[in-house]
Amino acid sequence: MNKDFSEAKEKVGQDFKKYRVAAVGFLVLNVVYIIIAWWKMPPVDLEMSRVVYGVLIFILILFLVLTPMIYRGQKLLVQVLTFIYGGRATFSIYSLIGGDVFPAVPYLLPCVILIFYLLGRAAWDWP
């Protein structure tokens, strides 16, 4: 009986390890994403910059709220985020092919693809 319990515990531990890696990667890569977007953003007037910087700070706070939820292993949230980041990656690649993109897209696309992979790996046990 002890053997069965330890084997089951090991499986759950491995599964949560993927969620923990996904949570840390989600936070770090999104912070890198925000830094790159801030760096590549074209100059804007004072009133518009307040809005833009306010939105970037709001997004950072949102990532700080979502990270512990991913860390705890909320599978449905991770699956929804995986679809969102998959759509973002697909749209960014489509825009790159079309040629009419925001100047930061080539720099931001690797972050989005890595986040998509880490979330998908946790949600559906990708390799």
Residue 61 has pLDDT above 70, yes or no: yes
What average pLDDT does the segment 77-106 reach?
Answer: 87
Report the number of distinct structural domains present in the chain.
1
Query: What whole-number percentage of the chain has pLDDT above 70?
Result: 88
DSSP line for 39-65? HHPPP--HHHHHHHHHHHHHHHHHHHH
> Per the structure block, which two tokens stand in for 9?
């515990």
The string of pLDDT tens digits covering residues 22-54 is 999 989 998 998 888 888 777 777 777 788 888
The domain in which residue 91 lies consists of 11-124
User: Would you give the DSSP letter of residue 101?
Assistant: -
Which amino acid is it at 91? F
Residue 79 within any structural domain of the chain: yes
Amino acid 13: pLDDT: 55
Band the pLDDT of 113: cuts 50, 70, 90.
Answer: very high
| Number of Cβ within a 10 Å radius of residue 94 | 10
- Please give the structure tokens belonging to residue 78: 């991770």
Does a structural domain hold residue 22?
Answer: yes
- Over residues 83-90, the mean pLDDT reads 92
3 in a domain, yes or no? no
